[in-house]
Amino acid sequence: MQLRYSFRLYPSAGQRSALARALGCARVVFNDALRVREEARAAGLGFVTSAELSKNLTAAKKTPERAWLGEVSSVVLQQSLRDLDAAYRNFFDGLKGKRPRMGAPRFKSKRDNRQSLRFTANAAWRITVGGKLRLPKIGDVPVKWSRTLPSAPSTVTVVKDSAGRYFASFVVETDPAADLDHMPATDAVVGVDLGLTHFAVLSDGTKVDSPQFLRRAEKKLKKAQQTLSRKEKGSSNRNKARHKVARAHARVTDARREFHHRLSTRLIRENQAIAVEDLCVKGLARTRLAKSVHDAGWSAFVTMLEYKAARYGRQFHRIDRFEPTSQVCSVCGVKDGPKPLNVRAWTCGACGAVLDRDINAAVNVAKAAGLAATACGAQVRRAPVPAQRSEAGTHPKQPTRLVREQAGIPGL
């Protein structure tokens, strides 16, 4: 099973300059290769292969215009070409229906919100005995190790976000049997109804309030944005103000992600099977509730539930979005039609049961998944789990030789 571990990096001023140089070189190589393929397509020529692009890169290093590409690790530049190949492959697979459609590769900008570069084992990167990350032509970068790595990684991806923070991302292989010891089997099952007033309502009657992280931070965000708008374009003060706005938004994002992780882990630990409704988030995001829908982050939460269920041997069910969970009485099963959103409780005309709208929907979600009859004590077969955090530039590869001197990783 592959899992991704991300750790915060704290590079010095010189190391930040070296990282900026490496990110810029990787961006230029990506754009140059994309331009070559686009020009060949416009001229009616064949698709330029990766081997030809690699030869062009080697030749470009010998020219005065691109001689500075030799100042960074060559592995970073080659991985940038692999990123372009992956972008084209995903685009063509979308056209063939093998995956959801996505746009054609686009040119990168130094103003992109997220930039990344990848070091493979060939770059001879390693983790020092002191716990620092040694990167070629960059130096030993301090790392904040929040947890231990379960095994020695072969690649590391350095990511810079819009707030100017740096992260080291490792994709490692883990032993699935070891995860089962942390989550013993249980007979409990639960249906989850997601909403805005309450972030989640469980079929056992538990209601989890919506934290509304963005709403609570709107005052600070508004003030920071107003300060940014008053700065002169192109000035250093405007750049500082822009980073303050980005850091404010990053704090909101981090708080929301922490809340999702805590709640999803709790549900996985306490229940053997979980059912959720497949909400049309894109459609809801086009309504007047768009800000609240994005603030809730339902898609990210459901994705966490799905990969954690597969990791720890739990059952996960998605209920069709057209299932009338709010129209059916969970006691007698009579469907009495749709109800406006202001009706939060009603009495069933058939059996006389007094129903809470959200709890009734959560119970119906569990029943639609068949949990009430079959999930108790069920033995669940583990499914393949991808890395849980999507990241441009990380691709599956054949196992390579282990990174030298990995014994310095804390906990290994």
Q: Catalytic one among 83, 193, 295, 306? A: 193
The encoded tokens of residue 231 equal 């700065």
- Name the pairing type of β-strands 189-194 and 273-277: parallel
CB burial class (10 A; 0-12, 13-18, 19+) of residue 386? middle
The per-residue pLDDT for range 364-385, each reduced to its tens digit, is: 999 888 875 433 333 333 444 4
User: 56: Cβ–Cβ under 8 A, 6 or more apart, which residues?
Assistant: 32, 33, 36
**What does the alpha-carbon distance between residue 166 and residue 11 come to, in Å, rounded to a whole number?**
8
The encoded tokens of residue 239 equal 């750049």
The per-residue pLDDT for range 197-212, each reduced to its tens digit, is: 899 999 888 999 999 9
pLDDT of the residue at 167: 97
Consecutive H or E run containing 41: helix 13-42
Look up residue 37 and give its amino acid.
R
394 pLDDT above the threshold of 90: no
The encoded tokens of residue 270 equal 């306490």
pLDDT of the residue at 348: 84
The per-residue pLDDT for range 104-151, each reduced to its tens digit, is: 999 999 889 899 999 998 898 999 999 999 999 999 999 999 988 888
Q: Catalytic one among 83, 179, 295, 358? A: 358
**What does the alpha-carbon distance between residue 199 and residue 276 come to, in Å, rounded to a whole number?**
13
**What does the alpha-carbon distance between residue 201 and residue 361 come to, in Å, rounded to a whole number?**
9
User: 65: Cβ–Cβ under 8 A, 6 or more apart, which residues?
Assistant: none
pLDDT of the residue at 412: 38
Q: Catalytic one among 32, 83, 277, 295? A: 277
Half-sphere exposure of 48 (CA within 13 A, CB side): 20
> Any catalytic annotation for residue 112?
no
Among 25-34, 247-256, 349-358, 392-401, the least confident range: 392-401
Contact criterion met (CB below 8 Å) for 118 and 156 = yes
* pTM of structure: 0.82
pLDDT of the residue at 178: 67
Look up residue 267 and give its amino acid.
L
**Confidence grade of residue 184 (pLDDT, cut at 50, 70, 90):** confident
**What does the alpha-carbon distance between residue 273 and residue 189 come to, in Å, rounded to a whole number?**
5
DSSP letters, 317-373, are EEE-TTS-TTTB-TTT--B-----TT--EEE-TTT--EEEHHHHHHHHHHHHTTHHH
The encoded tokens of residue 153 equal 């990684």
**What does the alpha-carbon distance between residue 80 and residue 394 come to, in Å, rounded to a whole number?**
10
317 pLDDT above the threshold of 70: yes
Contact criterion met (CB below 8 Å) for 125 and 168 = no
397 pLDDT above the threshold of 90: no
Q: Give residue for tokens 């570069």.
A: 117
